[in-house]
């Protein structure tokens, strides 16, 4: 790598190169409002903060940095529950033949509903956050849940899932092996897979999960509007299988089709399946093999979700893969902010958008990249802190011990 990241300028902001049809179909404002209507019924639901970092923005010579802090979502420390819970809701509506009407949360948790659903068992693979969200949703609704994790999943993440009553299977392999094992066991046992990644013949539930995430974005838009900001000019979003990234890119494409933000998608360099697929350039998703080793556990995915990839391929502008220390620096910036900026607890996967923004603004020298980024004093940059401190041991190693240090040549010069 010439920098601590590599990039592909894909669409360069040109509407002529974009195909917005799928984004508009899947991520219309009506879908977002339906998801929000459901989420608002959940006991304890409240809007998560949209944090502004004006002093960092000023230091980096841009207009604003706005971070939606999903670490504070429903005491679950992650955004994932928004997708999993909405998908479970949509599944139940279809299972009960009630797709044409709303079901209240009180009905979903009633004895009558439980009696009709008693044979339903959910399962999924996870790196931690999605499994915890699905286990919580299953527990709240009184349903059984089986979660599959890979062998390198940390003990704190496993225990966080187990506390919600799910049974856990540890698979000898990586995240993608866990996905395959969950699907095989579901087929054998008659369970229902609630996965945020799609595959041939399995797109409906992943679509519902992505639509569930748009509640977060509807909240964000209300919060930005309250600050007098009509839309972000730039969106930096992290990608694993691509579900969240597609949701964010799809939502803003559908909302501002004539003038969408500049979309920057970032992945770990050792698990950059979206980046690799774009680089191959045949229009199809491609897998990355190997152990996918990265501190960004939530993004350690080798197989892109085909439906998410299609949205990103057709609408995102710049794809980036970066080193782990970029995410670690993002965590440290958020945990030790400039005076007057808020303190934000962010895990590795949550902090990489800020980490890469800092790298881009402190290192970007190529005229072509600078031109494509279009970052200046009027830029309003939006990103999501997708998780809090989900692995306390690694968190302390990074923040306290300085694990994943930035090499000397990339250290702060401003």
Residue count of the chain, please give it: 414
What does DSSP say about strands 64-69 and 50-52: parallel, antiparallel, or unpaired? antiparallel
Q: Is 80 a catalytic residue?
A: yes
From residue 389, alpha-carbon distances to 139, 206, 395 in Å are: 23, 26, 6
Q: Is 172 a catalytic residue?
A: no
Collect all residues with Cβ–Cβ distance below 8 Å to 233 and sequence separation of at least 6. Answer: 63, 261, 262, 374, 378, 379, 380, 381
User: From start to end of 84-242, where are the E strands?
Assistant: 121-126, 144-150, 167-171, 192-193, 234-238
Integer-rounded Cα radius of gyration of the chain: 20
Looking at 190-317, list the stretches that DSSP marks H as alpha helix, in order from N- to C-terminal side: 204-226, 243-255, 273-280, 306-315
| Residues 63, 189: Cα–Cα separation, whole Å | 54
- Residue among 330, 348, 362, 360 nearest 393 (CA): 348
| Residues 126, 176: Cα–Cα separation, whole Å | 9
Ramachandran bin of 99, using left for φ above 0, alpha for ψ from -120 to 50, beta for the remaining angles: alpha
* DSSP-derived 3-state class of residue 285: coil
* Catalytic member of 80, 176, 394, 404: 80
* Catalytic member of 4, 34, 69, 127: 127
Looking at 260-347, list the stretches that DSSP marks H as alpha helix, in order from N- to C-terminal side: 273-280, 306-315, 324-335
Q: Are 261 and 231 in contact (CB under 8 A)?
A: yes
User: Mind telling me the catalytic residues?
Assistant: 80, 127
């Amino acid at each position: 790598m010439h920098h601590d990241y590599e990039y592909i300028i894909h669409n360069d902001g040109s509407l002529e190169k974009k195909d917005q049809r799928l984004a508009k179909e899947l991520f219309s404002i009506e879908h977002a409002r339906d998801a929000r209507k459901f989420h608002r019924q959940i006991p304890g639901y409240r809007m998560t903060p949209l944090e502004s970092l004006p002093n960092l923005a000023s230091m980096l010579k841009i207009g604003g940095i706005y971070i939606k802090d999903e670490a504070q979502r429903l005491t679950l420390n992650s955004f994932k529950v928004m997708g999993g819970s909405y998908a479970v809701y949509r599944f139940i509506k279809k299972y009960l033949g009630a797709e044409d009407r709303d079901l209240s949360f009180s009905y979903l948790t009633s004895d009558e509903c439980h009696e009709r659903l008693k044979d339903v068992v959910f399962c999924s693979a996870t790196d931690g956050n999605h499994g915890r969200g699905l286990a919580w949703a299953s527990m709240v609704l009184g349903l059984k849940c089986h979660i599959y994790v890979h062998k390198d999943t940390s003990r704190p993440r496993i225990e966080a899932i187990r506390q919600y009553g799910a049974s856990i299977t540890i698979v000898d392999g990586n995240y993608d092996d866990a996905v395959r094992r969950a699907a095989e066991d579901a087929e054998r046992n008659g369970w229902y897979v609630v996965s945020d990644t799609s595959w041939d013949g399995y797109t409906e539930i992943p679509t519902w999960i992505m639509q569930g995430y748009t509640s977060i974005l509807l909240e964000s838009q209300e919060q930005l509007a309250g600050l007098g900001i009509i839309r972000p000019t730039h969106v930096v979003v992290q990608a694993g299988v691509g579900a969240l990234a597609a949701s964010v890119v799809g939502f803003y494409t559908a909302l501002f089709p004539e003038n969408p933000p500049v979309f920057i998608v970032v992945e770990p360099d050792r698990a950059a399946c979206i980046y690799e697929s774009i680089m191959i350039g045949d229009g199809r998703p491609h897998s990355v093999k190997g152990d996918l080793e990265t501190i960004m556990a939530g993004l350690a995915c080798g197989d892109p979700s085909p439906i998410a990839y299609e949205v990103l391929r057709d609408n995102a502008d710049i794809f980036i893969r970066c080193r782990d220390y970029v995410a670690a620096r993002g965590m440290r910036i958020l945990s030790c902010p400039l005076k007057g900026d808020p303190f934000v607890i962010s895990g590795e996967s949550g902090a990489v958008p800020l980490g890469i923004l800092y790298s881009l603004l402190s290192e970007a020298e190529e005229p072509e990249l600078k031109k494509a980024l279009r970052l200046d004093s009027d830029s309003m940059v939006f990103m999501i802190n997708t998780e809090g401190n989900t692995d306390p041991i690694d968190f302390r190693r990074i923040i306290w011990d300085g694990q994943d240090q930035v090499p000397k040549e990339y250290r702060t010069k401003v």
